[in-house]
Chains A and B, each alone.
Chain A
Amino acid sequence: MNAPLPKRKLKVATTSLAGCFGCHMSFLDIDERILDLVELVEFDRSPITDIKHCSPDCDIGIIEGGVCNAENVHVLHEFRKNCKILIAMGACAINGGLPAQRNSLDIRDILAAVYAQPGRGVHIPNDPEIPLLLNEVHPLHEVVRIDYFLPGCPPSGDAIWKFLTDLLAGRTPTLGHGLIHYD
């Protein structure tokens, strides 16, 4: 017998850190099933709602992208603090992905190369509004404890649907052949 689930709608927060929003786009690929989903959940902080900060009683946090700058760290900490369950969604959240391919180079050299202006030296943008980059890009689970991982670049809409329906039903999510993908 399944454990009785709370009747109330679960609060879900989502964000994209060092990602491309591709996972969020893929989320929308669940298409009309989103109608079933909103019967079960309400969205808190998320690009979908434009709510800027997590409510303190979020149930599930879904994070796309790895951690590449100071702001990413602050957002990730906010999610960990306010969400009971934290999910790393997509390749970048899980192993740093494409942004982490900069890790083989020194960030100072990268910036020097990118912001070099012929004959006028190097001018690296420097404004308190711009978050500082970390020396290396990190996957989420190296910075906070992550409860579940949903791989893919992006995970397909079907994979996201299967994962979330498992989770909302109180089952440990499994994907199986065809849904588990690293690309």
Chain B
Amino acid sequence: MPGVNSNGVDEDAVIGEVLSRHQSDPTRLMQILREVQERIDWLSPDTLTKVAEGTRLPRGRVEGVAGFYHFFHTEPLGRYRMLWSDNITDRMAGNADLMARMCKKLWLKPGRVSEDGLVSVDTTSCTGLGDQGPALLVNYRPVTRMTPERVDRIVELIRHKTPVAEWPAEFFKVEDNIRRKDALLGADFQPGDALKALKSPQEVLDAVKESGLRGRGGAGFSTGQKWEFCRAAVGTGAHPAHYVVCNADEGEPGTFKDRVLLSSYADMVFEGMTVSGYVIGARKGFVYLRGEYRYLLEPLNAVLEKRRAAKLLGKSILGRTGFDFDIEIHLGAGAYVCGEETALLESLEGKRGVPRKRPPFPVTSGYLGQPTAVNNVETLASAALIAAKGATWYKSIGTPKSAGTKILSISGDCERPGIYEYPYGVKVSQVLADCGAHDTQACQIAGASGLCVAPNEFGRRIAFEDIPTGGSFMVFDNTRDMFQVARNFAHFFVHESCGFCTPCRVGTTLLANAMDKIDGGHGGEYDINDIWRVIRTLKTASHCGLGQTAGNCVADTLQKFRPSYELRLNVRDFEPAFDLDKALSKMREVTGRDDPGAHFHIAHRKSRAGIGTKAGDPA
């Protein structure tokens, strides 16, 4: 029967059903593609054509979107798609060996599909489970705390073709690991507390401004000001409107506090969005939830249903005529760049997640060109708290320039990784003591794009005026090699660059290649000079923050941990990035020659075994 695939699923019927559920709305392309893929395993050329016809989009646009996001695949990748989280903290917890074990047992190479088309194994960027890694995603659902035993059991389940839904529930257990609560996590807050306390929109806006609340995503823009600009902006066109967007695309390596907020404090986040909608005059809000948190979709929708039933969402909230607001959850599909707010908006509109040019800013021209307030999950939860408990109380916490608290996601070399909430102004050394870190040689604060802090700086403070952070806090003890930390991050940016602008598209690759060359023992001062040149170009010319900060960690470690590079610089002058002797391998193969003339007798240092480009790569 035409249209019915090998698993007995009628593909045409699935596509038709998904399209009609989304009214064939082209702005919902991301959701359409995800739902179709969840049902029929992959997005074939034929499927893309049908989706394009259904949404009346040019086919190239649909293919372009499918090709942009890591979690969409336009090739069959097996009934079981295994993606190992490949952040440096997963590496430190031994993910490379575990992944190699899995590949060996399944008789396949990383990145390839097994011959029977059953399973594929690959890596993905940080999945937001740094406190309970090594982690992997199976069909985009997280499995935590991987061990050799767990690998073996999963291999058995795959071999027996056990549906993922029937796998042991303990595999999928994600802990909150909240270790320190302060004003937000420790608040006595009941759903509706903020909404019941609402005065006029202007008064609420004044309170948010008065509180000193600044964006928790890392940039630290004043939330009150953002809302004020957005409230003052006028919607345009046939469907003028204002929108609230919650940025839950928590992609910065080492960050997982939004995961916890959405798991256990969703009411507070949704209430913050509702307060924001009330202030700016929006009737609709979106949560842009990263694809890695797909497993939170149903629980979050259940919370939304409860809130609707309790009149905390929907028409005439708490009986106030004209106070209408509802929330919808939009899932991302594996793209770190969508944490950048304008890329997020593009993605929300069903497009490739490429950052827009600014101006105009989202507050005047955001989602569908309408005024839009984009705020971080934690910012919105804090706003709910301020609306409920008042600005004066909130302002009394933290420092004069950084009001309130900050939630840190702590991972790496410490006894108690997890979630720590502190008033702003806490010293790095205090944080390290609390999480049980010993012999610490460095902290990477604010993720791969953030700041690498050496011990002589541990007296510095977490605050907008000193070390601002979105919440990532990775600890490295004296046994770690900071060069490899930087190399991991350099590869992360190669994976995550959107490719829009020249400096980032090419520069991130050149930087990672130079780091690999040094790692392979072929590097010298020549290559260090090249690295600086690439970093300068990235910083000066890149289109968005991703490219501008992509060289930060290499620059920081080159300055603060220079010996970790110098000890690898085997070359005084210059050596090729590739192995000259290996460059004759194919001719040795076809001629069968192995005489001295078929080799280069140059004292080449063997590439050291170590962390490969990807976990599971042969050393």
In the complex the two chains form, what is the Cα distance from A77 to B600 in whole Å?
11
Cross-chain contact A145 with B573 (CB below 8 angstroms): yes
Chain A residues near B221 (CB, 8 Å)? none
Interface residues in B571-604 by Cβ distance below 8 A to A read 573-574, 576-578, 580, 582-593, 595, 597-598, 600, 602
Cross-chain contact A126 with B591 (CB below 8 angstroms): yes
Cross-chain contact A135 with B590 (CB below 8 angstroms): no
Partner of A135, one of B526, B585, B591: B585
In the complex the two chains form, what is the Cα distance from A112 to B593 in whole Å?
17
Task: Give the number of residues in A that approach B within 8 Å (Cβ atoms).
Answer: 22
Cross-chain contact A126 with B583 (CB below 8 angstroms): no
Candidate in A106, A108, A132, A133 with the most chain B CB atoms within 10 angstroms: A132
Given A126-B593, A128-B593, the answer on whether A135 and B573 have CB atoms closer than 8 Å is no
| A180 proximal to B (CB < 8 A) | no
Cross-chain contact A107 with B586 (CB below 8 angstroms): yes
Given A126-B593, A128-B597, A132-B591, the answer on whether A143 and B580 have CB atoms closer than 8 Å is yes
Chain A residues near B574 (CB, 8 Å)? 144-145
B577 (CB) vs chain A CBs: closest residue: A142
Task: Give the number of residues in B that approach A within 8 Å (Cβ atoms).
Answer: 24
Cross-chain contact B587 with A133 (CB below 8 angstroms): yes
Q: Mark A117-135, 1 if CB is under 8 A from B, else 0.
A: 0000000101010011111
In the complex the two chains form, what is the Cα distance from A126 to B587 in whole Å?
10
Cross-chain contact B589 with A73 (CB below 8 angstroms): no
Cross-chain contact A145 with B526 (CB below 8 angstroms): yes
Chain A residues near B597 (CB, 8 Å)? 70, 128, 131-132
Chain B residues near A136 (CB, 8 Å)? 583
In the complex the two chains form, what is the Cα distance from A128 to B583 in whole Å?
17
Given A142-B576, A143-B576, the answer on whether A73 and B600 have CB atoms closer than 8 Å is yes
Minimal beta-carbon separation of A11 from chain B (angstroms): 21
In the complex the two chains form, what is the Cα distance from A144 to B578 in whole Å?
12
Interface residues in B241-282 by Cβ distance below 8 A to A read none
Cross-chain contact B600 with A70 (CB below 8 angstroms): yes
Given A70-B600, A128-B597, A132-B598, the answer on whether A111 and B585 have CB atoms closer than 8 Å is no
In the complex the two chains form, what is the Cα distance from A112 to B587 in whole Å?
12
Cross-chain contact B587 with A128 (CB below 8 angstroms): no
Cross-chain contact B526 with A132 (CB below 8 angstroms): no
Interface residues in A35-83 by Cβ distance below 8 A to B read 70, 73, 77
Chain B residues near A124 (CB, 8 Å)? 590-591
Chain B residues near A106 (CB, 8 Å)? 586
B600 (CB) vs chain A CBs: closest residue: A73
Interface residues in A75-114 by Cβ distance below 8 A to B read 77, 106-108, 111-112
Cross-chain contact A108 with B586 (CB below 8 angstroms): yes
Interface residues in A141-160 by Cβ distance below 8 A to B read 142-145
Partner of B590, one of A77, A111, A143: A111
Chain A residues near B588 (CB, 8 Å)? 132
In the complex the two chains form, what is the Cα distance from A157 to B65 in whole Å?
51
In the complex the two chains form, what is the Cα distance from A70 to B600 in whole Å?
8
A125 (CB) vs chain B CBs: closest residue: B591
Cross-chain contact A108 with B590 (CB below 8 angstroms): yes
In the complex the two chains form, what is the Cα distance from A178 to B378 in whole Å?
60
Cross-chain contact B584 with A70 (CB below 8 angstroms): yes
In the complex the two chains form, what is the Cα distance from A138 to B582 in whole Å?
14
Minimal beta-carbon separation of B511 from chain A (angstroms): 17
Minimal beta-carbon separation of A134 from chain B (angstroms): 4
Q: Mark B535-569, 1 if CB is under 8 A from A, else 0.
A: 00000000000000000000000000000000000
17 CB-based A-B contacts, threshold 8 Å: A70-B584, A77-B602, A107-B586, A108-B590, A111-B590, A112-B590, A124-B591, A126-B591, A126-B592, A128-B593, A132-B584, A133-B587, A135-B586, A138-B576, A142-B578, A144-B574, A145-B526
Q: A107-B586, A124-B590, A132-B584 are in contact. List 7 more A-B contacts (CB 8 A).
A: A70-B600, A106-B586, A112-B590, A126-B593, A128-B593, A132-B593, A135-B583
Chain B contacts to A: CB under 8 angstroms: 526, 573-574, 576-578, 580, 582-593, 595, 597-598, 600, 602
Instruction: Please give me the 3 A-B residue pairs with the lowest Cβ-Cβ distance, nearest first.
Output: A145-B574, A132-B587, A126-B591
